[in-house]
Amino acid sequence: MNYLIRDVSPAGGPRGELKIEDGVLVAEFSQPGLRDVEVVEAGGLTALPGLVDLHTHLREPGREDAETVLSGSRAAARGGFTAVHAMANTAPVADTAGVVEQVWRLGQEAGYTAVHPIGAVTVGLDGVQLAELGAMADSAAGVRIFSDDGKCVHDPLVMRRALEYVKAFDGVIAQHAQEPRLTGGAQMHEGDVSAALGLPGWPAVAEEAIIARDVLLAGHVGSRLHVCHVSTAGSVDIIRWAKARGVRVTAEVTPHHLLLTDEKVRTFDPVFKVNPPLRTDADVHAVREGLADGTIDIVATDHAPHPTEAKSCEWSAAAMGMTGLETALSIVVATMVEPGLFGWDDVVRVMSTRPAEIAGLPAGTLEPGSAADVVLVDPAARRTVDVAAMASTGSNTPFAGMELPAAVHSTFFAGRPVLAAGELADIGKAHEWAN
């Protein structure tokens, strides 16, 4: 099927048309009067290139009770993502070519979004022995990003060797910056709130010390470093310093670190327990400013679903993490667009174009000739987050019941509508537009 999307505003620009023929965006259909063209009336909607997430936990293989590649892919489609990068902390760990190919093939079978596995840096995420980085890069999955996320590559020599190894194929080491000796037993951000609640604290310096070390190592080696989920004002300063000196460093911030502070922990609701922890109001403002001025390159969800029992317990026993694929765009609009820090072109930059560049994907554009990965957004809509309506298996969202701006109307992946008028398509069957 081919599609004509009429009266749409690309990235908030002048209204026009988008044409999709055989899965590709075209300036004009190849034949006047082309048959099998479905018209999509998009008055009031904004078109963005499909969103790209560099930090998604899909849990499969091994933790299918928390999420599967299929359920996570459906959640991605609902959030407007046409490419996600699946983190390596599965069971077994994605530290071999066999496991990353398994995840990649599961993504292809699901069909709702492109699934690009992230390979582990070290065997079993143990921080000791480098994993099969070259074999994973050469596999059918074509891995280019490697991370022990959930754990920090804390040994500086192992980190140096990893940076040296991936340089040969322009790979990226994505670091979870957490000095383990400074965060043993930590339950939340170390500060006034942790002192008042009597909870062990996770100090900002534990993140900043690792980032400072790693940007120096990346500069020394001349390799690419990506800093996961930046959460402190000091981290933003260090990355800004490193970029000014030509270090090949990129960085991400999560939606929840753009909005929420450690004051939420006073509720003792485990839904607010996350790693790195929610920080102070000053940190939230610093990461927003860092995202606005380009110091922080992208927004990544750190989508981390958990089964109910892992969160419905006392704070100290609860797992860390939040879901995020289905609310990310709205949070960026609430924290960056509505306060006037961003236009829609900036949203495209941090959620589509720049993530695709970091990952080396031919995505993040609406130019003719590119794959038709398109998300249609209703910028005027306001919606109340309904956990029961979510596609993710995980229900651990801190935004449940919150009214948020903007809504994903439709998502086209490789020219097919995988979400149409808010309804997920039944992949493999003819889909009727609901509008």
Residues 132 and 243 in one domain: yes
Residues 178 and 32 in one domain: no
Handedness of CA 330, 334, 336, 338 (dihedral sign): positive
Structural domain includes residue 364? no
Task: Please state, in angstroms and rounded to a whole number, the distance separating the CA atoms of residues 170 and 204.
Answer: 30
Which pLDDT score is estimated for 434? 34
Residues 211 and 287 in one domain: yes
pTM, full prediction: 0.96
Structural domain includes residue 346? yes
Number of domains in the chain: 2
82 closest CA partner among 109, 58, 116: 116
The CATH code of the domain that includes 236 is 3.20.20.140
Residues 271 and 419 in one domain: no
Residues 27 and 167 in one domain: no
Structural domain includes residue 202? yes
Q: Given the structure tokens 């400072």, which residue do they identify?
A: 212
55 known ligand binder: yes
57 known ligand binder: yes
Q: Divide the 435 residues of the chain into consecutive groups of 10 and give the mean pLDDT of each group.
A: 95 92 95 86 96 98 97 98 98 98 98 98 98 98 98 98 97 98 98 98 98 98 98 98 98 98 98 98 98 98 97 97 98 98 97 98 96 98 96 97 98 97 79 37
Three-state DSSP class for residue 85: strand
Give, as one character, the DSSP assignment of residue 276. Answer: S
Q: Are 341 and 253 in contact (CB under 8 A)?
A: no
Residues 171 and 100 in one domain: yes
Written as six digits, the tokens of 334 are 């609430």
373 known ligand binder: no
Task: Please state, in angstroms and rounded to a whole number, the distance separating the CA atoms of residues 45 and 34.
Answer: 25
Give, as one character, the DSSP assignment of residue 264. Answer: G
302 is catalytic: yes
Handedness of CA 394, 395, 400, 406 (dihedral sign): positive
Spatial neighbors of 426 by CB under 8 A, at least 6 apart, are: none
Q: Would you mind telling me the total number of residues written for the chain in this entry?
A: 435
Phi and psi at residue 193, to the nearest 5°: -70, -40
220 known ligand binder: no
Residues 78 and 175 in one domain: yes
Task: Please state, in angstroms and rounded to a whole number, the distance separating the CA atoms of residues 283 and 35.
Answer: 55
Task: Please state, in angstroms and rounded to a whole number, the distance separating the CA atoms of residues 103 and 16.
Answer: 38
Structural domain includes residue 432? no
Residues 275 and 412 in one domain: no
Q: Which of 314, 334, 359 is the last residue of a domain?
A: 359
Q: Which of 330, 359, 388 is the last residue of a domain?
A: 359
Residue 282 structural domain: 50-359
Task: Please state, in angstroms and rounded to a whole number, the distance separating the CA atoms of residues 20 and 2.
Answer: 5
Structural domain includes residue 138? yes
End-to-end distance of the chain based on CA atoms, in angstroms?
17
CB atoms within 10 A of CB 44: 15
Residues 201 and 303 in one domain: yes
Which pLDDT score is estimated for 431? 40
Which pLDDT score is estimated for 34? 76
Which pLDDT score is estimated for 430? 39
Q: Which of 148, 302, 373, 378 is catalytic?
A: 302
The CATH code of the domain that includes 378 is 2.30.40.10
Q: Given the structure tokens 């709205």, which residue do they identify?
A: 330
